[in-house]
Every structure is written in C-alpha cells, then in structure tokens.
Homo-oligomer: A and B are copies of this chain.
Amino acid sequence: MSINTFGHLFRVTTWGESHGPALGATVDGCPPNVPVTEAMLQHWMDMRKPGQNKYTTQRREPDQVRILSGVFEGKTTGTPVQLMIENTDQRSKDYGEIAEKFRPGHADITYWQKYGIRDYRGGGRSSARETAARVAAGGLARAALAVLAPNVQITGYMVQMGPLAIDRSRFDLDEISRNPFWVPDADAAEEWAAYLDGLRKSGSSVGAVVEVVARGLPAGLGAPVYGKLDTDLAAAMMSINAVKGVEIGEGMGAAVLTGEENADEITIGPDGPVFSSNHAGGILGGISTGQDVVVRFAVKPTSSILTPRKTITKSGKDTEIITKGRHDPCVGIRAVPVGEAMMACVLLDHLLLHRGQVGDGGGQIG
C-alpha cells in the first residue's frame, strides 16, 4: 500500500507523474445522477493551470481533463469516474542534473531512500503536478455537493505571502478572483505583486498561508473520533505538496486563549443556534456546528531556486546545486484551488458518511 487514495466513501485515488504520458484521478463512490461535464471540471482546472501569469511556473499545460468512465449522458452513474489529464509540455532535458543530485528541501532524497528508484523527471510523483488530479476530483465533488448540499460554498484565498499578511479589515470576497494571488484585499494584491516580482527575478521563492472557508454546511457532519471533520481536513491539507502546518478556526493561536475567550457563546435564533464567535472554526468534537468551516495551511517555499545550495550526489559526494527548471516563486498561489478541491472532497465524503450511518436521525433543537 503506497496509499494514493483518500476518502472513506467518496474515494479519490490519484495517479501519474510529472513527465509521464498522463495523470489523473480514479474516483469511486460518487453518488449517481449528478450532472457533470468535462467543461464543468475544466473551470476548476483552469484556476490551477500553470503558466497563466509571470508569478507561476512557465510550464504551459492545457490541463485538459477527460472523463473516461462513470458518466453517461451527462450524469454520473454511481460507478468509478476516471478523470485523465494528458501531459503535453514535458521538457525532460531540464532535469538531468536532478537524477544524480538531491535538491535540499525536496523529496528527491527521500524517494530514493525509500524506493531505491524514482522517476526524477520534474519530480516524478512528488511533483506539485499531482495536484491537477486533485482539482479534477474536487470539481466532481463540487458537482455532487451542488445536488446534495446546494447551500455549501467553498472559497479559498491567500492570507499571507512571506512576511506580508492581509489586513482583515479590508477583506473583500469579490477581490479574490481579480488578482493573480487569490488575495481578498486589493491593496495587498498590489504590494504582493511588487514583492513577488523581485523574488522571481532573483530566482528565489517564498512561503505562504492559504485559508479555505466552507459556508452553508449543515450541522452534524464528522465521524468521531478518528474520522473527525477536522482530522480529515488536517490530513487532506497536510497531504498537499509543501504544506507544513494546518489550523482549524483559531488554530495554533488557541494556545493563548482562556476558556472564557475560546467559548463561542450560543443563543437561539429564528433558524436555530447562533454563535457569538467562531474560534472553533465551525467544528466541535470533530463534528460541524453549522458555522463556517475555516481551515488554514502554511506552504513552504519551493526548493527550486537559483542560489547554489550545498548537497550531495547519489554516490555520496559533496557538491552544490542550483535549479534552473520552470518553477513557482510562490507555490502557495497555486495551492489555493487545490485547498478548495480538498475541502470539497472531504465535505462530500462526510455528507455521504453521515447519510449512511445516521440518515435523518440527527437531533433537533427546540
């Protein structure tokens, strides 16, 4: 088991390498009768697609997703959905040096130590290109959510790039799609552009924090105690390349709160419980409260930089390396649609789990 599958009932297995003929996602357990087309999935693929502006890798991939099974006359049939994306722009010659040297901060060395063989072209399986398959699967999850939980809205955006954070007082949802950074703050967008431009020219890279919010989720989703909604979200986000930290609601900051501060007080409203705050990030005891589900994750800077770093060769010699391939100065940018896709998959999965175990048997208040 090399565990390329995630999900309990909505099960996504991704496959494929950066420079193989194709990659994709085999999705098992999608509910039947969900309207879905390749164009609907392509919408999300295009968000993640490389080469769209100067801030992301210049690899040019159409990232055209094909549905090879599980959909008949525009609807899912309940059988496995195969989503395939062919690789087209594979400049393998760029990667010769990596076959022998390990990039510091990259999976080159560990894949070798683990398997004793690796497809070194463009990172092979460890490449962020794998996330294209996640976005395709996430698109399918969204299509199913549109049927099963039409109020759910999933929105991802950047809240920090290197030392630069957004100003929450200027938070503007509409701004997200207007700038290349998916940042909900027009002023930040300008500032970040200047910062990243400098970074890009110097061949450097920087980390980021992405936040993903799901609105309109019903209460009661989550499967304690090892399939908690936050547990599964933490795993989903941590599985994305380069992610080093995950937070739910208050996150690491919960450590400094007192019990009084942390308690999201409850009053009764016309439509049920109303919470005075959302330190919990919409999840208590692993189960959704009906509030917004709020997840954040930190993405480290890519290790592919132009500054020489000390490293060793496969044969155990000291050397240096610089990476000249086409890479992202801030991979966090392209992680935004990936985070959204993971959120969509996890939420759908828990909707199905809840329906399976509990049906309509949840508790009423009032």
Contact = CB atoms under 8 A, between A and B. Distances in A.
B354 A355 contact: no
A356 B114 contact: no
A84 B24 CA distance: 12
28 contacts: A1-B352, A2-B223, A13-B80, A15-B28, A15-B70, A20-B68, A21-B66, A77-B119, A110-B222, A111-B285, A114-B220, A115-B361, A116-B364, A160-B256, A161-B255, A163-B256, A205-B258, A205-B259, A228-B238, A230-B244, A235-B235, A245-B250, A254-B298, A255-B332, A260-B305, A262-B301, A266-B312, A355-B355
A123 to B, nearest CB: 9
Interface in A1-56: 1-6, 8-11, 13-17, 20-24, 26, 28-33
B363 A113 contact: yes
Contact of A301 (B226, B259, B305): B259
A281 interface: yes
A242 to B, nearest CB: 8
A194 interface: no
Contacts of A354: 114
Contacts of A264: 104-105
A364 B314 CA distance: 8
Contact of A68 (B22, B206, B231): B22
A72 B162 CA distance: 37
A234 interface: yes
Interface stretch (A149-157, A172-180, A184-192, A286-294): A286-294
